[in-house]
Structures are given as C-alpha cells and as structure tokens.
A and B are shown apart, each in its own frame.
Chain A
Amino acid sequence: MTYIVKPKLRHPALPVNKLGFTHRDYEGTVSTLCAGCGHDSISAAIIQACFELAIEPHRVAKLSGIGCSSKTPTYFLGQSHGFNSVHGRMPSVLTGANMANKDLIYLGVSGDGDSASIGLGQFVHCIRRGVNMVYICENNGVYGLTKGQFSATADKGSKSKGGASNMDTPLDLASMAMMVGASFVGRSFSGDKEQMVPLIMAAMRHPGPCFIDIVSPCVAFNNHAGSTKAYDFVRAHNEAVNRLDIMEPRDPITVEYAPGTTEEVALHDGSSLRLAKLDADYDPSDRIMAMAYLQAKAARNELVTGLIYMDRHATDMHANLNTVDVPLNGLSEKDLCPGTKALDAFNASHR
C-alpha cells in the first residue's frame, strides 16, 4: 500500500466557502480502495457536505471500526483528528470521546460487518444512549476487507460471487436505528450524490443520534448479477421518499424539485431543510409510520431512500447526563478536586 501526497497548491479560481476554505481543505489522503468502490463516493459526499456546511475541519472528530469502509476516514477531512479503533467498536469509542468533549462534531464511519455483526450491540446501545453523532454505515452486504463473506445485511437469496446463496434473514439497520431511538434516520445510495450530500448535511446539524445507512456496492465482491447491493440492482429498486436540500439562512436560491408536495423543516441552527416529497403520504416525523413504510416496501423488494425519520425535538446523551455546558476535558483541578477540607470531613465520618 502506498500513500500519494497530494500537491498543496491551490488554484486561484477554486470556489471557497464561507470560511474561505476550498474543497481541498476537506480532503484527506488518496484512497487505496478498489477503483469504483462505493465507499469512495461516500467519502466524496462527506467532503462535499462539510464544504457546503463550512464546517471547520478540525472541529470534527472522525471515528471508525475496521473494514474497507472504516479505512475511509483517512480519505477525507485531513485536518480532523481520526481514530481507527477496533472491529465493531467504533460506537463505544465515539461515545467516550463525546462524553469528554461535547463541542466537537462526531462522525462515525462503519461497515455492515462492523455494525451489523460484531458490533451490533454497540450500534444499538450508542444510539439508544442518545449520543450526538452522525453514524454512517457503508453497507455493501459483504465483508470487503476479508474478501467477500456475506454480512448480516445481505438479503435472503442474494448470491455471493462464488455462487453461494445467503439463506439467513437480513438485518435492516435503518429500521433498527429507529426502533432504538435514533432521532434522525436516513438511507441513501453511494451512486446518488444529490441525495447523499444534503442528507449528511442535515444529519450534521441535527443535535442527536443520527444514523444513515448508505448502500455502497463492493465492486470486488458484491456487484454481480444476483447481488442485491450491486449498482444495477439498487438503481432499479431504489424508492426515494423525498428529495431534500439544505437552505442556509442567507441562501436565496430556490431549488427546483420533482413534482409532489414540498415541506420546509426548520433545523436547530436557523437553517432549514426543504423536503420534496415524492410520495405525498410520507411523513418523516412519524416514527411508527416510517417503520411500517420501510417494512412494507422491503416486502416488495423496494429500497426506501431519503430522509426516513427526523425528530425535531431531539436531545442527546449530555442532556440525559445533565453535564455542565463546557467540555469535561477542559475542567481543571480547581473544578474537579474537592480538596483537603472535604477529605477531612470524609475522614471524620468514617471514625
């Protein structure tokens, strides 16, 4: 494996965001994944989302587990601290990091093996604990890094490259996330940047546990006929419930949407999310309905994408823990150590 250092030269005509950063400032090292791997498109979408949101890259902490997907945090946000932890355990590390400093933006990147098998427990528990984060699962239905074994999200009946059929029931992480308390759940497809970017942007502004399941074909082991996570299959079965765009408060542009109703959803920081509903009946604020809708579509072999659920009144773990407003990692002995007087009293009460 080699790392190619990118030239740091900046073209004067490159567009800059509110902070004066160019797209480049949000990139990482050059990807070492297979050419055409869906994961790289997701990295590109993350870069685009952060650029458009004008996030200061160093205010993001990016964490991952182990897998091809979990390698991707080196390929974006080179000025962010990153943590490639151990297989399936990103959620706990992210939880602890978040406990230590509530002021950063936490981006967790995982794979379907990482999240739905070895790390299923951690996936569920960090969401139910309400950790303020954007948790992205780059879902290809296989273990890419260990060369193509089925993962727990592989659909029943889907065929491996070697011809074996998966007979086990698949786990739907988006449904599970809703069930266990995610306040923002989306699903997308790595081939659909238009949909991915605003979804990631909205999630980054949402103050609660966000989960985005992104189907991301593995060109090496899961992009053949018979696979339900292949580019062709997903394109044919994708059922977008809405199209969304983030409206900055300063933004004058109105985006043209496909016909259907539109709805503006206020976000916590003053911006708004414009939802163009492709299915007029779909209401992303109704969790029960969203869960039922997902199941109904799945039964018809359709993959619902878009903003599936959002709780506008989300809170997070720190609210539950009632922590002080400043990050815990910034407290000093003055704040933390009760000192000798308290200790004398403790001693006295133990005599």
Chain B
Amino acid sequence: MPTPVKSINDFVVKFANVNGSGSASANEMFARSILRMGVPVASRNIFPSNIQGLPTWYEVRVSGHGWLGRRGGVDLMVAMNPQTWDKDVASVDPGGYLFYDSSRPIPASKFRDDINVIRMPLTEICNAVYSDPRQRQLFKNIIYIGALAQLLGIEPDVLENLIGEQYKSKPALIAPNHQALRMGHDYARDNLAGACGLKVTRADGVKDRIFVNGNDAAGLGCVYGGATVAAWYPITPSTSVAEAFAKHCKKYRVDPATGKNKFAIVQAEDEISAIGAVIGAGWNGARAFTATSGPGVSLMQEFLGLAYFAEIPMVLIDVQRGGPSTGMPTRTQQADLILAAYASHGDTKHVMLFPQDPRELFEFAAQAFDLAERLQTPIFVMEDLDIGMNEWLCEPFAWDDARKYDRGKIMTADDLDAGKLFGRYLDVDGDAIGYRTLPGTHPSKGAYFTRGSSHDKMAKYTEEGDAYQEVMQRLLRKFETAKSLVPAPVIHQAAEKTGYGVIYFGSTAPAMDEALAALKEEGLHLNTLRLRAFPFSEAVSDFINAHEQIFLVEQNRDAQMRMLLVNECGVDPARFISILNYDGTPITARFIISQIAGRMTMTSREAAE
C-alpha cells in the first residue's frame, strides 16, 4: 500500500455521475466553493452525447499554483455511478482516494488495495430523511458535497453562501439545501475523521478573476460587439453560444420604454439557412453572426464562398468538437482549421481568430464584428468545446466605454451627393478594401448588384479573364491588409538563449503555461509564440525562421496548423516537430512535457555523441 497522497491545494477530484441526475449544479458549486477559498480551480465536464442515463464526469483540478490546464490523473474519485465503477476505480492514482456510496455492499474484488477507500452510506442517509424519489436524488448530491467539504476543509459558510446566492429567487429551497449540506458535513465529521489527506486551505490565488464558460463569454461578446442579428441551428457544443446571446440580449437589449427588442434571433431550419440569413443581414448593414460546430461549417461552405467573393461582413463562431463526420460531439479538438481557413470551392481564404480562454473569447467575439466590417469578409472565431462548455477561471472582462464600433467603409447618401466616385470593388485607398453602400441609401446613386458570379471592380458581371483576375488579386491583397488588423501573436523569450521554439494556440494555452514552467525547472528553455489569428503576420515567420526546431502543439491528428504555417509562411517543414493530442480530451501539461522533454534531451544527447 503506497502512502496515502497528502496534498494541500494541489490535487484532482473527479466526480463520476449519471447524466441527468442533477449532479452538475452540485458539482459546480463544489468547484466554486474552492474558488471562494481563494484557491484556483480548473473544471472540466466530460459528458456523453445523451440527455439522460449515460455516464458523465466532472473533473476539478485544485491548483494553488494556478495551473488551469487539465492535469491528468485523479487523486480523489467520487464514484457515484455503478455503471462505470471499474473504470473509475482503475483511474485513481496510487495512494489516492475513492469516495463512494456504501449503502449497498460491493464485493472486495471490486476494489484496489493501493488506494484509500472512503465509505459513506449516502442512499441510506437520504432514504431515512426524504421520501420523495426526486428529493432523494437531488439532496444526495448536496449531502456528498457537504461531506467532501468537511473532508477537504472547505469552510461550511462558503457553501452555505453559495446556496443562498443560487436560490436567491427561490428562498424556500435555501433551508432544505443547507440542511442537506449539514447532514453530509456532520456525517463526515463524526465518521470519516482523518480519512483524506487532501486539503484546501485559504489562499489568495484567485484575486478578482471570474469563473465563466466560453460560450457565455462569446454570447456576451456578440452583444458588446453590437450584433443585432443571429441565426443558428442547434448543435453541440455551440448551442449555448446562441442561447447565451439570447439571454444577454433579453437582459441588455430590450428597450425599457417600449419593451421591444434591439435584436433579432432566428433558429433556422439548418446551418445553410442560418448562414444565408447572416449574409443577408450583413449585406444590409446589420452586425450578424452564427454559431456552429464542424458539421455546420461543412454545410455552410457554399455560402462562405459567396461571402468571401461578394465581400460581405459576417461572423462565424465555430465551437470545435471531435471530427470527422459526427465524430465525437461532446469531446474537444482543434480540427476545423483547414475546413475554415480555405472554406468553399475555388480560391478562398478566411480570417480566423484563436482565443485562449473565455476572457479572450469575449474580446475576440466583439472584435470580430469590427474586423468583419473593416475587411468585408467572414471572420471565424475558432473556439472549442473545452473553452466553450467548461467554466474557466480567467481575468474579468473589460470594456472601454469610449470604444466606437469600426463600421468599415460605407458610403452614405451625403458622400454620394458630394460626388464621391462609387464602385463597389474599387481599391481607392490602396488597402484593397472597397466602399460599400447599404440598400436604400440613395434614390439614384450607389445601387449595385451583389453576386457570387464573376464580377469586375464596378460589380458588373464579367467573364473577362483580366477583370476577374484583378478582383481575385485584390482579394489576396486584402488578405495582406488583414495581417495588420488581426490580433498579433504573443511572443515570449525564454530566460536563456535557445534554438528551440514552441508554437501553440487556443485552449492549449493553460496546459502550455504549466508545461513551460516545468520544463524550465528541468533546465529546458524554449521561446514561445501563441498564435491568435490567421492570416499570420510577419512576426510568425520571423519567429519560425529564428529557431532551428519548433514544437508545434495542436489538438488534431493531421497537424493542420502546420499545414497552414508551411503553406502560408513558406517555411521549411523540417523545422517543425508536431505534438498532437486528439483523443478528444483537453491536452495536458504532462503530455506536452513528456513530448518536449523527450525530444529535447534526445537531440541534445545526439548532438553530444
């Protein structure tokens, strides 16, 4: 028997539950209570594509150091699902703890002797107090939270306050929940003293950070960014973006005087229709977006080509999930990069943004509308299920009240009357972006015909090769302009001079931060570049060219970002060493460290031989 794991503010708790049993909100409250103790947590849902009955897990990483990536491994398993018992027991790290409902006997062979078992007859306790089956189910969750809090040293007030806040609008529920909490707490105090070596102690590691999920942030970012039109079709994991937008609009966008809405949301009949509506609205001068995931982006291809070629502003939030095809709807990946970058037939290229967490997602979602109108093209906000559907601890959202929307180049009736020359696709400013007019602007000037068929710079239909090529070349130059407008990469130089670099993006960031710190401890130094957008600015190719070896960390099988970098930056593919995590679970620091450390020590050994 290995010694029981002892740790303060640094461990992983995993809850194994049955989907639809009401455990989700109890578990989230558990995570929040640790945050209220001032200790950072990272939480992740691992859930099935199912509404009720299938297994679901919730992982809470407690990290006094503030590491927010997935750590891997489990120190305390809260095994509430008999269906997954064997797997759950097996996943506990040696010396770790297994907390379970001991109301019904489980044969000794079903346990391991290298882990510590914490027994609590939850069902018995519940049944003795509650007769209603639904109550038994729901309060059972609260009771085990109460017991865990006692075991780990979470202050009871903290949880009681959280319950008070949660049921502010249903005060009748507060007392019974408090009572359930206390039942769990008292049981643990009286029967499980000293059973668990994992502890939470008060700290000051959270500061003013907030705990929020990315899709909520994206929806709010769209509100702040001035979106008035949204059209969408339900698909995991993007549905909650549209729902969040609707929720925030109801809160912030209803005219108090008339009760009328300063927004319009349509749940379309499919993704094709959703993007069609977004394009129609963008053409007509409203800020419009859709949110979807890989299968939806596949369906939207034809329209994306239209928006690219006809130069219509629009925003697409792609919450990436595991592909191909229906793939792993409830697992995370960064595998839509090629799909989005070159979406649609013919020569097309699209702008993509890669937020690293909900905070950056909020910003990018809002900024995407400025970029879309400035560049008159689709902007992809490439988040993923890990960011979108998990609560992340991140910096509070910020906004500058002096900020004005960049509506891009729009010619008004006054401009037209003043005699300004209007040609929809004329490059008058040298940035390859033309002026547009909105329908209904002027009785006799500025009308033009928008089409996805070949057109010249005056928007006239043409089959003349030269006129067509002129437009296609300008679109390339416009993509160059985009490089200077999109968020710049974030570059960090290592403490010591090194020929190694690492490039990463999106939800990989927290695991990467942790991995870099650990590698540094081992004396392995790397300069880092976090991509925040496509197209890549010169800083990206400069960074690549400045290093002999670049580790490129991605969450897909085919190293899609590598394809983009090689293709767009014209760099030598041999410089890249791909580190690929694509099993559907978020990438971990442990994985990155093992991949990088292995390669770096190996090459330095080779060099020594």
Contact = CB atoms under 8 A, between A and B. Distances in A.
Given A93-B280, A323-B261, A336 B226 contact: yes
Contact of B450 (A84, A129, A322): A84
Contacts of A324: 255, 258, 260-262
B463 A122 contact: no
B403 interface: yes
B279 A101 contact: no
Given A79-B444, A332-B405, A337-B224, A96 B258 contact: no
Nearest to B274: A92
Interface in A133-181: none
Contact of A101 (B285, B449, B453): B285
Contacts of B449: 73-74, 81-84
A328 B249 CA distance: 13
B216 to A, nearest CB: 9
B276 A343 contact: no
B253 interface: yes
Contact of B229 (A73, A328, A335, A347): A328
Contacts of A3: 460-461
Given A100-B285, A340-B399, A350-B212, A328 B228 contact: yes
Contact of A96 (B288, B442, B444): B288
Interface stretch (A56-64, A262-270, A286-294, A301-309): A56-64
Interface string A332-351: 11011111101100110011
Given A85-B452, A125-B269, A93 B283 contact: yes
B447 interface: yes
Nearest to B459: A82
A95 B397 contact: no
Interface stretch (B66-74, B433-441, B511-519): B433-441
B180 interface: no
Nearest to B231: A96
A83 B450 contact: yes
A42 B284 CA distance: 26
A85 B399 contact: no
Nearest to A79: B447
Which of A74, A80, A125, A323 has the most CB atoms of chain B within a 10 A radius of its CB?
A323
A92 B269 CA distance: 10
A347 B224 CA distance: 14
B8 interface: no
B379 interface: no
A125 B262 contact: no
Interface size class of B (residues with CB under 8 A): 35 or more
A78 B447 contact: yes
A321 B264 contact: yes
Given A85-B452, A333-B405, A339-B401, A323 B264 contact: yes
Interface string A62-90: 01000000000110001111111110010
B243 interface: no
Given A333-B405, A340-B401, A347-B396, A321 B280 contact: no
B187 interface: no
Contact of B440 (A58, A337, A350): A58
B219 to A, nearest CB: 11
B338 to A, nearest CB: 22
A37 interface: no
Interface in B283-305: 283-286, 288, 302-303
B286 A101 contact: yes
Contacts of A78: 447
Given A335-B262, A343-B399, A86 B273 contact: no
B443 interface: yes
A337 B282 CA distance: 18
Interface string B16-39: 000000000000000000010000
Given A56-B443, A74-B449, A84-B449, A328 B263 contact: yes
Nearest to A73: B449
A95 B260 CA distance: 19
B281 interface: yes
Contact of A81 (B211, B228, B286, B450): B450
A33 interface: no
Contacts of A279: none
A322 B210 CA distance: 33
B288 A58 contact: no
Contacts of A57: 443, 447
Interface string B415-450: 000000000000000000000011111111001111
Nearest to B212: A350
Contact of B210 (A81, A333, A351): A351
Interface in B218-261: 220, 223-224, 226, 228-229, 231, 248, 252-253, 255, 258-261
Given A58-B447, A78-B447, A331-B262, A83 B283 contact: yes
Contacts of A80: 439, 447
B403 A333 contact: yes
B217 to A, nearest CB: 10
Contacts of B126: none
Contact of B303 (A74, A89, A328, A351): A89
B599 interface: no
Interface residues of A, number: 61
Contact of B442 (A58, A94, A343): A58
A97 interface: yes
Contacts of B306: 85-86
B450 A338 contact: no
B437 A99 contact: no
Given A81-B448, A93-B279, A122 B273 contact: yes
B262 A328 contact: yes
B506 to A, nearest CB: 21
B114 interface: no
B398 interface: yes
A129 B266 contact: yes
A152 B364 CA distance: 45
Contacts of B248: 338
A79 B283 CA distance: 16
Nearest to A80: B447
Contact of B397 (A96, A329, A343): A343
Given A56-B443, A81-B447, A340-B401, A322 B261 contact: yes
Contacts of A89: 272-273, 276, 302-303
Given A79-B447, A99-B264, A104 B439 contact: yes
B277 interface: yes
B497 interface: no
B262 A98 contact: no
A122 B303 CA distance: 14
Nearest to A342: B252
A351 B212 CA distance: 9
B228 A100 contact: yes
Contacts of A86: 302-303, 306, 452
B170 interface: no
Q: Which of B206, B272, B442, B453 has the most CB of A within 10 A?
A: B272
A97 B275 CA distance: 12
Contacts of A318: 264
A324 B452 CA distance: 32
A236 interface: no
Nearest to A126: B273
The 6 closest A-B pairs by CB, nearest first: A92-B276, A96-B280, A96-B277, A100-B286, A81-B439, A329-B285
Interface of B: 35, 206, 208-212, 220, 223-224, 226, 228-229, 231, 248, 252-253, 255, 258-266, 268-270, 272-286, 288, 302-303, 306, 396-401, 403-405, 437-444, 447-453, 460-461, 463
Given A336-B262, A346-B397, 15 more contacts: A81-B438, A82-B450, A96-B279, A96-B282, A96-B284, A97-B280, A122-B276, A125-B268, A129-B266, A321-B261, A322-B259, A331-B228, A333-B403, A338-B252, A340-B399
8 contacts: A83-B449, A95-B266, A324-B262, A328-B263, A329-B281, A343-B399, A347-B208, A351-B208
